[in-house]
Structure 1
Amino acid sequence: MQFLAAFPTRIYLTGFMGCGKSTIGPLLARRLGYTFLDLDALIVQQAGCSIPEIFAAGGEAAFRTLERKALRQTAMMDAYVIATGGGTLVSDDNLAWALRNGRVVYLQVSVDELVRRLAPRAAGRPLLQDRYGRPLRGAALRRRIATLLARRVPWYQRAHHVVAADGLSIAETVEAVLHALRTYRDSRNERR
């Protein structure tokens, strides 16, 4: 199904790690006839090393610099669904840029659901590790997720669309995002 004329050129998926951006993104792109891009994968490709290696070598600041550069590169991409990292749009500069250059969709997921999804994968997530590089578990993991999410929510909620994904299947989440985008498309058509 081809929506190129009716939908935004670039769709940025945002939300906390584990909210489903990299799972929903390819399915959404397929439904729209768009190409999918995982911004973290682009960063890894360009850096020539993994995200944990980037964090180990230069810390979060080095990663955020690479992330900002990769985000700006998407301005040249048409008909793309772009999964941003959980912290990509948690800056006024990056968020304002994404809001101007595409449609931003926040996949909203509760702390409890994020803990459930992220607990098995905390070892590969530098922000979910203690200062010794060990994955957080149990109450410590929940506290870290709750704290990070609370800091990020003010940026996430400035997205063009907020899609509450708790309790939705993958297919239902894709449909909810499509519905939000159709609402945008329909309101644009009414103004013409």
Structure 2
Amino acid sequence: MNVAIFGFMGVGKSSVGRLVAEALGMEFVDLDDTIVAYAGMDIPAIFEERGEKGFRELEKEATRIIAARDGVVIACGGGTVLDEDNLGALRRNSRMILLTANPEIILQRVEADGDTRPLLSVEEKVEPIARLLVERMPRYLEAADKAVETSGKTQAQVAREIIEFLREGR
């Protein structure tokens, strides 16, 4: 059995995923890192060279391979589970954990990670995040076995909540 952690950018998928994997003695795999290693270039370069379609093809192949393994905590990209093939591959052998956060928190976290767009005001940056969240949330919730709100919680608190859920479900 695997654990697939998914949700919008900035919700803590990779950080929390590492903690969950360590606590459960499982391997951790970041899907985006796997794609970067396979392609030999970072994600912006993949989008520039191959476009979104090329990136999604790489993502689909990486998802299929990793999801077929066992005993892995997988940090998915923000759009991974929006693809039916990816979702099907993950659901076959994974507990599906959705991480959520409010748009303002997401913006703070993304900017803290170095993604800055100085010409946009906070309101101008929050609005597209909120719009995408509204658009994606029904699909995210449909895919989830468990949803965990991360706003106002430490990574360790979120990881503990996931671990408790997984242990109860065994």
TM-score normalised by length of structure 1: 0.81
1:94 pairs with one of 63, 76, 86: 86
Cα distance per residue 1:163-190 (max 9 Å; x no partner): 12221111111111111212321xxxxx
Give the aligned partner of residue 153 of structure 1: 137
Superposed CA RMSD in Å reads: 1.7
Report the Cα offset of residue 52 of structure 1: 0.4
Comparing 150-159 with 30-39, greater Cα deviation is found at 150-159
Tell me how far apart the structure 2 counterparts of residues 19 and 136 of structure 1 sit (CA, whole Å): 21
Structure 2, unmatched stretches of 5+, are none
Report the Cα offset of residue 95 of structure 1: 1.7
Matched, 1:116 2:108: yes
What amino acid maps onto 2:63 in structure 1? L
1:79 pairs with one of 47, 50, 71: 71
Identity of aligned residues (%): 38
Structure whose CA Rg is larger: 1
Report the Cα offset of residue 38 of structure 1: 0.4
Tell me how far apart the structure 1 counterparts of residues 68 and 119 of structure 2 sit (CA, whole Å): 37
What amino acid maps onto 1:67 in structure 2? E
Where 2:17 maps in the other structure, the secondary structure is helix
**Closer, same or farther: CA 10–137 of 1 in aligned 2, 3 Å:** farther
Structure 1, unmatched stretches of 5+, are 1-8, 124-128, 186-192
TM-score normalised by length of structure 2: 0.91
Report the Cα offset of residue 111 of structure 1: 1.1
Give the aligned partner of residue 165 of structure 2: 180
Matched, 1:27 2:19: yes
Where 2:41 maps in the other structure, the secondary structure is coil
Report the Cα offset of residue 76 of structure 1: 3.6
Structure 1 residue ranges, 4+ long, deviating more than 3 angstroms after superposition: 134-137
Equivalenced residue count is: 168
- Structure with the bigger RCO (C-alpha within 8 Å, sep 6+) is 2
